[in-house]
Amino acid sequence: MKNFNLIATLILCLFMGFSLTAQEEEKEAKSKSGFFVKVNVGYGFSAIPTVQGNDYNMASDGTSLSSIGRIYGTAAPGVYPGIGIGYMINDYIGFQLAFDYSFGRSKVQEVTFEDLPAGLTIAGQEFNLLNAYIVQERTFRTKQVRLMPSVIVKGGDKKIAPYARFGVVLPLAGSTITDVNATLTSSEVGLPDVIAGFLPFDLDGVSLGGNVVGKAETKGQFSIGFDAALGMEYQVTDLISIFGELQATALTIKSKQTKVSQYDGTYQLENSPVTLDELFNAVGLLGIDLDLTTLGLYQNIDEVPLSEKEINYVDELNSSTNSPFFPDSFDENRASDELGRRENYSSIGINLGIKFNF
């Protein structure tokens, strides 16, 4: 009887042990999977710099070039806060769906040097009024809302665990704002003798100067990029972890359309006995229509032709597109077409954040 009681006791203890072990295993299994939410903020630095434009340096005389160089960089540098939700299948594999909002910082994109020949046609004869050039300084700021689905590979359920993630980048919305500051400088204003001889003032040594401040917004087409990160996660409690990671993004976006929203131009005659309006009025008395728009210059956005303030980007220019390269079909009262280009948004960044495990 005693042996029977002993055996029964041993069997009962064994079953209790199995039961406790099963409960622990079940508890442990539950800890290996589950949903999580994370919040982070990061900063991206330029990666894979590409040509952003040309840098034209003026000579000391202010009327000629001394050198021309390239400007390299990307449109990516800036702050990007983000939020994500994901699910860990086990201690090692999981999935994540993240959103971030990128604030690209302003930087000089290009300084251009452009000849601006301005002509006037009288009785079928063209006269050159100005030999002028424009120096443009363009800066830009980017903003993007991006969706980033990715796969997570983690180094187990540890207090401090390394991990890697990789996936794609899908820009959902955003644009690039370009600010333009242009300075116009001309050589001596040269009116033909048929006009100058009838004016009550002398234009010898007179030149035209001016400044233009403008703003344009460029939107892109749907594009797909790639994103990857290496990081470390520290488990503060069962519910809260903090993490830091090094993130790399490879993304280029093909431009779709540019619209000019601001154009403010101011111009004046230099070393002149008269103002611009007085010059135009005097020439008008001779029956000749001359104003700033005749010279291809504008004072406000309403004066700018639609073809210069709205641009669509295409893969090929031909007679069916609206381009000045095909003058027979070009209409300045319609949006113009230009060859498309790709903007570089690739970056290497640092992310810091907090993760909530459920």
**Taking the domains of the chain in order of start, what are their residue ranges?**
1-31, 32-357
**pLDDT of 110 over the 80 cut:** no
Do residues 259 and 307 make contact, with C-beta atoms less than 8 angstroms apart? Answer: no
Beta strands 93-104; 125-154: pairing state: antiparallel
Question: What is the Cα–Cα distance from 246 to 229, expressed in whole angstroms?
Answer: 5
Q: Give phi and psi for 277, each to the nearest 5.
A: -60, -40
Q: Determine the pLDDT at residue 7.
A: 41
Residue 210 in tokens: 């001016």
The distance of Cα 181 from the centroid of its chain, to the nearest Å, equals: 18
Least confident of 23-37, 71-85, 248-262: 23-37
Label residue 300 by pLDDT band (50, 70, 90).
Answer: very high
More confident residue, 237 or 104: 237
Question: What is the Cα–Cα distance from 138 to 267, expressed in whole angstroms?
Answer: 20
More confident residue, 42 or 59: 42
pLDDT averaged over the chain?
A: 80
Label residue 67 by pLDDT band (50, 70, 90).
Answer: confident
Question: What is the Cα–Cα distance from 197 to 350, expressed in whole angstroms?
Answer: 69
Q: Determine the pLDDT at residue 276.
A: 85
| Topology of the domain comprising 32-357 | Porin (2.40.160)
Label residue 352 by pLDDT band (50, 70, 90).
Answer: very high
**pLDDT of 192 over the 50 cut:** yes
Report, as an integer, the average pLDDT of 30-53: 80
Label residue 11 by pLDDT band (50, 70, 90).
Answer: very low
pTM above 0.85, yes or no: no
Label residue 32 by pLDDT band (50, 70, 90).
Answer: low
Q: Is 308 left (phi over 0), alpha (psi -120 to 50) or beta?
A: alpha
Least confident of 119-128, 148-157, 176-185, 340-349: 119-128
**pLDDT of 291 over the 90 cut:** no
Length of the chain counted residue by residue: 358
Q: Determine the pLDDT at residue 190.
A: 67
Nearest to 212 by CA among 249, 153, 263: 263
Do residues 324 and 330 make contact, with C-beta atoms less than 8 angstroms apart? Answer: yes
**pLDDT of 247 over the 90 cut:** yes
The three-state (H, E, C) secondary structure of 146-168, written as one string: EEEEEEEEECCCCCEEEEEEEEE
Question: What is the Cα–Cα distance from 242 to 140, expressed in whole angstroms?
Answer: 34
